[in-house]
Amino acid sequence: MAKKKRLKIVLIGYGAISQTLFEVFAANKAPIDIVGVLVRSGRVKATKEKLGAKVAVVDTLKALLKLKPDVVVEAASQQAVRDWGEKILKKGIDLMVIATGAYGDPRLWKKHIKTAEKSGARLRLPSGAISGIDGLLAMRLGKLEHVKYVSIKPPHAWTGTPAETEFDLPSIKEPTVIFRGKPADAGRLYPKNANLAVTVALCGAGLERTEIELVADPTLPPGTNASRLEVVADSGELNMHRLGRAMPDNPKTGVLTALTMADDLMKMVRSSDW
């Protein structure tokens, strides 16, 4: 029996998500090799010191492509998606995107889809820190009447966002809606907090027919964040609530975000879907 090929991936960014991926693959003995990490030039030395000699640390897309990965995993920012997404897909390399807020721009979304179709690459959008995406995808095959996504995080998780100027975050004593509007606006104004707003829209009713609420909630258990997905369709109703642990060093991101990315990559190996 031929030995099964291992999946080669390169990560864009080396923050909380990427570090969790290293830990999960090692703990589960996944047949996945992280062969490289792309970081900003100023972070190359520090990242090399953390990762050692077994993982290439690069600061250009050209150097990333030389590593010949099967999948490039974006774990950095919407800007990384805009800067490098099309070039990666054009090379026929699968691209996993978690900063889906970049696709609040429908022109970029269409361009990446068209590029992937032409090259044979796949654009992969993991579900992120939410439950119920599988149900939403199935329900959209019928008629979707209402889709609403609510992201709930402690007040300090909204630091550095427009909410900081509009609200006295430390003084919030009860759940407070800090944004209500469209997915593209949520993703643009809250690029580190609300990428899932766009994911939900792309998987469901679209950018114009999806309602988004962002909530600062001081009553959440310490170290957690939450989300709620509400769907009404001709096939029935879906109401999913998730309470999850936030990254220890990044309250803006849930641990489940990294785990759904890891799970999708591990499923690729099991199903030979690459």
Is pLDDT at 3 greater than 80 in this prediction?
A: no
Give residue 66's identity as a one-letter amino acid code: K
Look at residue 273 and tell me whether its pLDDT is greater than 70.
Answer: no
Using a pLDDT cut of 90, give the percent of the chain over it.
91
More confident residue, 274 or 138: 138
Question: Is residue 268 one of the residues assigned to a domain?
Answer: no
The band of 2, judged by pLDDT with boundaries at 50, 70 and 90, is: low
Residues 143 and 107 in one domain: no
Quote the pTM value: 0.94
Q: Is residue 196 part of a domain?
A: yes
Q: What are the tens digits of pLDDT across the range 46-57?
A: 999 999 999 999
Same structural domain, 98 and 193: no
- Report the pLDDT value the prediction gives residue 116, as an integer from 0 to 100: 98
Mean pLDDT of all residues in 246-267: 92
* Domain that residue 42 falls in: 7-125
pLDDT exceeds cutoff 90 at 4: no
- Averaged pLDDT score across all residues of the chain: 95
Q: Which burial class, exposed, middle or buried, applies to 121 when counting CB atoms under 10 A from its CB (0-12, 13-18, 19+)?
A: buried
Q: What would the DSSP string read from start to end of 236-248?
A: EEEEEEEEEEEET
Question: Which pLDDT value is given to residue 248?
Answer: 86
Q: Identify the CA nearest to 17 among candidates 214, 221, 262.
A: 262
Averaged pLDDT for residues 189-195 = 95
For residue 205, tell me if it sits in a domain. yes
For residue 2, is it within any domain? no
Q: What CATH number should be reported for the domain holding residue 119?
A: 3.40.50.720
78-133 confidence digits (pLDDT tens) = 999 999 999 999 999 999 999 999 999 999 999 999 999 999 999 999 998 888 99
Structure tokens at 269: 């190996």
How many domains in the chain?
2
What integer pLDDT is reported at residue 1 of this predicted model? 46
- Domain stop point among 77, 107, 125: 125
Q: What is the pLDDT of residue 270?
A: 86
Torsion angle of the four alpha carbons 9, 13, 17, 21, in this order, in degrees rounded to the nearest 10: 30
Same domain assignment for residues 74 and 41: yes
Confidence of residue 232 (pLDDT cuts 50, 70, 90): very high
Asked if the model's pLDDT at residue 210 lies above 80, the reply is yes
- Write the DSSP assignment of 43-98 as a string of letters: GHHHHHHHH-TTSEEESSHHHHHHT--SEEEE-S-HHHHHHHHHHHHHTT-EEEES
Task: Answer whether residue 238 shows pLDDT above 50.
Answer: yes
Taking residues 62-86, report their average pLDDT.
97
Domain boundary among 125, 154, 177: 125
Question: Which of 125, 143, 166 finishes a domain?
Answer: 125
Mean pLDDT of 142-170: 97
In the predicted model, what is the mean pLDDT of residues 182-209? 96
Indicate which CATH number applies to the domain containing 245. Answer: 3.30.360.10
235 and 138 in a common domain? yes
Residue 251's pLDDT is 86
Encoded tokens for 168: 């006295």
